[in-house]
């Protein structure tokens, strides 16, 4: 990536991060290694996690020389104009998620849209995505799929939503993908076992790219014989036909 391209107007890089905090830096290519030293503004979900991820990605500088601004699920979207102003002033900035690619199932998408409106060049950088890695490893339809982010927390609403997703998968063939907060994963598994039909295909992808990675696709009837232990693990769930 040429220096001219990088410096021609303000740039917002969409910076991938490790899916697990101890993931080594060799998962990331030379492009990121070249760009990291140029960035002095990082827009992050959590500063502590961001520092740990940056070290694992090969950042060798001092954190005293960079600025971090927080954008997470608790942030008011009124902070977006301030972040856009900061990106413009710093000329080069990076948006980071806690794990994987930014702007997927996190508030970063609002910032990216605002960047486009402000004439800021948005450059996505390649890196791991638990959603797409789970999809291609599932054996389910990877040409037609829908990602739903997070499902309702309340049990009755979650059950209703799961049944809707199952019906959509059966009628269209589209793979239905969603996530859950790690500490609620076990309740999600219990809900899946209750809500879905025995012959529905279910993939549970846990701890992708880590030594404890486990990705399995089976009919719900098979899952019921030995439900997985996924409490507090990073999981992606996929329902297929």
Q: What is the pLDDT of residue 5?
A: 45
pLDDT at 201 over 80: yes
**Range among 11-15, 31-35, 124-128, 228-232 rated most confident:** 11-15
Say if 3-124 and 130-240 have the same CATH topology. Answer: no
Question: 222: helix, coil or strand?
Answer: helix
Tell whether domain 3-124 is in CATH 3.40.50.2000: no
Give the separation between CA 129 and CA 111, rounded to whole angstroms. Answer: 19
Report the relative pairing of strands 92-96 and 201-206 from DSSP bridges: unpaired
Structure tokens at 127: 């890196």
- Domain segments of the chain: what residues? 3-124, 130-240
Residue 93 backbone zone (phi > 0: left; psi -120 to 50: alpha; other: beta) = beta
Residues 181-187, mean pLDDT to the nearest whole number: 93
Nearest CA to 28 out of 57, 61, 59 is that of 57
Residues 12-25, mean pLDDT to the nearest whole number: 81
Measuring CA to CA, how many Å separate 209 from each of 19, 60, 93? 7, 23, 27
pTM, two decimal places: 0.87
Q: What is the pLDDT of residue 104?
A: 85
Give the separation between CA 109 and CA 116, rounded to whole angstroms. Answer: 11
Q: What is the pLDDT of residue 77?
A: 80
Counting residues of the chain whose pLDDT is more than 70, the rounded percentage is 94
pLDDT at 76 over 60: yes
pLDDT at 169 over 60: yes
CATH says 130-240 is which class? alpha beta
């Amino acid at each position: 990536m040429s220096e001219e391209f990088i410096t021609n107007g303000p740039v917002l890089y969409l910076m991938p991060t490790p899916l697990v905090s101890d993931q080594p830096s060799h998962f990331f290519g030379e492009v990121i290694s070249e760009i990291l030293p140029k960035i002095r503004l990082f827009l992050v979900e959590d500063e502590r996690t961001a520092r740990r991820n940056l070290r694992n990605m090969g950042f060798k500088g001092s954190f005293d020389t960079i600025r971090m601004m927080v954008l997470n699920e608790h942030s008011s979207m009124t902070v977006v104009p301030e972040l856009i102003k900061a990106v413009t002033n710093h000329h080069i900035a990076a948006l980071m998620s806690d794990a994987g690619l930014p702007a997927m199932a996190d508030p970063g998408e609002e910032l990216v849209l605002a960047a486009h409106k402000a004439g800021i060049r948005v450059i996505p950088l390649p890196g791991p995505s638990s959603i797409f890695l789970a999809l291609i490893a599932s054996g389910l339809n990877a040409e037609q799929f829908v990602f739903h982010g997070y499902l309702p927390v309340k049990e009755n609403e979650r059950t209703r939503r799961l049944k809707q997703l199952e019906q959509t998968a059966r009628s269209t063939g589209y793979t239905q993908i969603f996530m859950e907060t790690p500490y609620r994963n076990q309740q999600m598994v219990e809900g899946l076992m209750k809500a879905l039909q025995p012959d529905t295909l279910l993939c549970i992808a846990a701890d992708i790219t880590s030594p404890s990675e486990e990705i399995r696709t089976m009919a719900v009837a098979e899952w019921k014989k030995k439900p997985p232990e996924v409490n507090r693990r990073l999981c992606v769930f996929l329902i297929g036909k």
